[in-house]
Structure 1
């Protein structure tokens, strides 16, 4: 097999030594003897051992040469060679002798497995050993993660927790030095420039925040924000009840000659009520929450100094407003959270007291994450050019809602969801329905919205129209300022690959950093894979 060795930065040796000191593999100066230095590195990485006897036992499980263990090697006068180090490296990286490499010829495994080559022929100094160890820490194991991440899983950075005040970077990556068990959990309500439920007040949007404890003492964190309409619950039975019948006779489609103006959406406009009057300022939130619906990529970064924010948007439980799938209002409700995190919008501690609270713990640099509908809203937000949004990582995201529910003038169900459409999805994520008292005041108006959507989506013709054009994010890619990572499965029959293909072609020439990762999977997350490896 070959391992894709990606995401590695080449640094000069001076920087490597500084970074090894920062993560406590070196205290002060290097040891005089190269063998002694290697043994010290091994001892620091042997996290299951708290005695010399146990450490020796672990060394006896590792080979230095085909007929000598590492324990015996350290007792001998034999010098450290490149062959010995590479054989040790292969074992630490979890490759299997006689399956992945031959113990008699470890050097040939470097090209066979696609391991990073060392620019060394022998180990003359401990600095050579430190360079090789740095290289090892940034190399991907057989199971995918880099070796330092493997040590992290075993608890290498736990001892850093009590003294951590800011992120710690190694080879360009933030390390897990923040205690994930000491998170601040709080809820705020962001005032959006919307009144989608027409109650005469601007919509307040619930945002759930998880942030490192250090943010209470001056540390300002970068933020990962996931806009998930599913976050506060779904109405599965409601959606099923209004799903459209697809068992209908086929009819001949009438040809229509349309101009571009016939299918170009009208500019968005609305009449807004005044902002709420602020009754006072608060420095602490008055509401918390016990458990969120987590996104695995966000969890990875929580212990690395990032804050995480989840918001379901308009029409969802504990928020104001009404759902309208793919609408401009939906995008505005998404960007309102970003604006608050960037210091450009107001939020309140609850929905009644009008006590304003600022995101003083945010460093005003926000990235959006999410798959499917979640990634779609990240794409939507990016096309507004909203200030503060630095990056989006969108997985299996829709770039035009027409390409999700329609196909070349025909109604086309995504995956196996026959009869689903824009109105059905809006009903499924209107989680305000879960609270009967709250739903009482909005039911009649939402019923009218569903009727309008049903008419505008036009299941009879399947044609592209002004309605669908207003839900086409490709129209606004020129506004994108954030960097983009797109991830999509080539066998995704839910959000079909044409969505990412069209977006990639649209942003190809924009002056932003952009990456696309295509995989053979279906409508799945791949961020929870240990890493991306390529068996041959």
Structure 2
């Protein structure tokens, strides 16, 4: 296992927008701090393992009793008076689906005491003077209440665990005996987790709860609307209820919540309403007082990139201390991508924010971005400093295309060939590399002969190269070897199978995608049916990315309508006219590169596709 190296001391605190970039140092170093970092001095096998049921402010199951969340703790057996901070992973997956690449579940001994926590956090950090808390989200595993899928009850339950660690909420043992954390907890908490777990970390941070010092959201959701809707287009119908049913076995006790998930989520319109506002953490970014370490894959097709990009920008606007890692794989934990670098960086991060150790982690470059398979570079910020929006018109003529429900492969293949159902526009070959860093968009001047249709846009890199193959196994593969990260017991080992990036050589790659239900072109809160024969200006947001199109390659913009692989938008048979001369593609370009003028575009035929030839509706996914 890699040995950490002591870091240089910070000379002074720096204040940015009211936030301290360094916590105040402890008055005296605790026994687990040596050389400016925490070191493993406690016996993991002798750690205290216990379960506490923390009372929440909600009664989601309406049984007249406040809900309680189960908190399974592993903490070092410290000397009296020695207190430790807590690393917390609040998850709905501890009993149903597992965590990590190997799908680990919580396990208990014959007395119901936690014997195995998933992942390496407790194995590695408990010997170093941290406690670990695995929190069952409301309505899951051993918690009461109801699973409301990113909603107020779920967030309130995880927040209550932090309140208990700070003496602000009651906690009880299994037999109902009150229990306090004051004797051993400093009250400082760092929330971490991938996907749904990280999403709740975002939600709890947005409450501004005192004691939450830092969050590490990995491939996390910041707006559940944007997770289940793509600008008015349904990703899959009934998605909230589906997720509740997967992670919770308390459906019978939660009839009201289940009904709300089905009825208030507005599948019939795709609108953003009060139900989704309650599950949107971005408007509350100004209440975030915890530092944030964002990790995301730019090719994550499960939790797409607007989830991190918009949260990141909102945090920046409020001067929240932050750091970001971006990689080229899909829905992947950095532990399964850059294991040694990740554990070392995470160790520094928690030492700084939870232990008050001035190790210089906040003086390092704010952004780390994978620029080629296995190659990571640092930058002062993200999007890259100096990035600017560059617009290019799409052509000079008016073209039309009729919905054909094309697969992605069919939509982007052979861009110079006429393909019914698409418009393919090409920029290049490029005379120099084109670095995109941020969020693109395409503004279209259109006429539609139906009240609505879905508009889909893809940016494609045409040119042969070896790239991360994110379409297979999220871009990683599990190896036969393993490595160990912390101490083990017979019930909970710290060893995990190694993982490597998966690469492939291909003549093109879809860089990023965007969708819009055209009737939502004025607002996501309501629909505005389109009138045939009338011209409209609509903007299709394209998911954020960070990528480089090599010199000699060609950048393609591919426009289609319904997208059966990613959404449930119906094929309406609509014909769309596009005025290329008044339409614009806007790209976030770093450096001095420019786009060559686009050609006139590929005019396509309008023959409708037979229903039997259309692909099946998209499968539901877990934000896991």
Give the TM interval when normalised to the shorter protein.
Answer: 0.5 to 0.7
Match of 2:120 in 1: 296
Q: Kindly provide the CA deviation profile for residues 1-28 of structure 1, in whole angstroms up to 9, marking residues without a partner as x.
A: xxxxx9973469xxxxxxxxxxxxxxxx
Is 1:530 aligned with 2:395? no
Q: How many residues in Structure 1 have an aligned counterpart in Structure 2?
A: 312
1:183 corresponds to which residue?
Answer: 47
What is the match of residue 306 of structure 1? 130
> Counterparts of 1:488 and 1:8 in 2: how far apart (Å)?
28
Please point out which of 79, 85, 92 is paired with 1:222: 85
Bigger share in helix: 1
* Structure 1 residue 9 corresponds to structure 2 residue 7: yes
Per the alignment, do residues 7 and 326 of structure 1 end up closer, same or farther by CA in structure 2, a change over 3 Å counting?
farther
1:378 matched residue in structure 2: 201
**Structure 2 counterpart of 1:361:** 184
CA contact (8 A) 1:339 1:345 kept: yes
* Residue 63 (structure 2) pairs with residue 199 (structure 1): yes
CA-atom RMSD in angstroms? 2.7
SS at match of 2:87: strand
8 Å CA contact 1:365, 1:388 repeated in 2: yes
Deviation at 1:509, TM superposition (A): 2.9
Map of 2:32 onto structure 1: 167
Does structure 2 conserve the Cα–Cα contact (< 8 Å) formed by 1:185 and 1:288?
A: no
Following the alignment from structure 1 to structure 2, what is the Cα–Cα distance between the partners of residues 213 and 354?
Answer: 21
Unaligned segments of structure 1, at least 5 residues: 1-5, 13-163, 236-285, 414-418, 434-438
Distance 1:535 1:358 in 2: 41
From the superposition, tell whether residues 210 and 375 of structure 1 become closer, same or farther in structure 2 (CA, over 3 Å).
Answer: same
Aligned residue for 2:307, secondary structure, equals helix
Structure of higher CA gyration radius: 1
- The alignment status of 1:490 with 2:314, answered yes or no, reads no
Distance 2:122 2:328 in 1: 23
* Aligned-partner Cα distance in 1 for 2:160–2:322: 24
By percentage of residues, which structure has more strand? Answer: 2
Secondary structure at the counterpart of residue 502 of structure 1: helix
Q: Is the 8 A contact 1:483 1:512 kept in 2?
A: yes
Runs ≥4 in structure 1, deviation > 6 angstroms?
none
Distance (whole Å) between structure 2 residues aligned to residue 511 and residue 168 of structure 1: 30
Using structure 1 for the length normalisation, give the TM-score: 0.54
Alignment of 1:251-270 (within 5 A): none
User: Structure 2: where are the runs of 5+ without partners?
Assistant: 11-28, 99-109, 343-373, 378-624
TM-score (structure 2 length as normaliser): 0.47
Contact 1:187 1:287 in 2 (8 A): no
- For 2:40 and 2:196, the matched residues in 1 are separated by 29
Secondary structure, counterpart of 2:257 in structure 1 = helix
Matched residue, 2:247? 429
- Which range moved further: 195-204 or 329-338? 195-204
C-alpha distance 323-185 of structure 1, shift in aligned 2 (>3 A): same
Deviations 1:43-78 (A, max 9, x none): xxxxxxxxxxxxxxxxxxxxxxxxxxxxxxxxxxxx
1:331 matched to 2:155 = yes
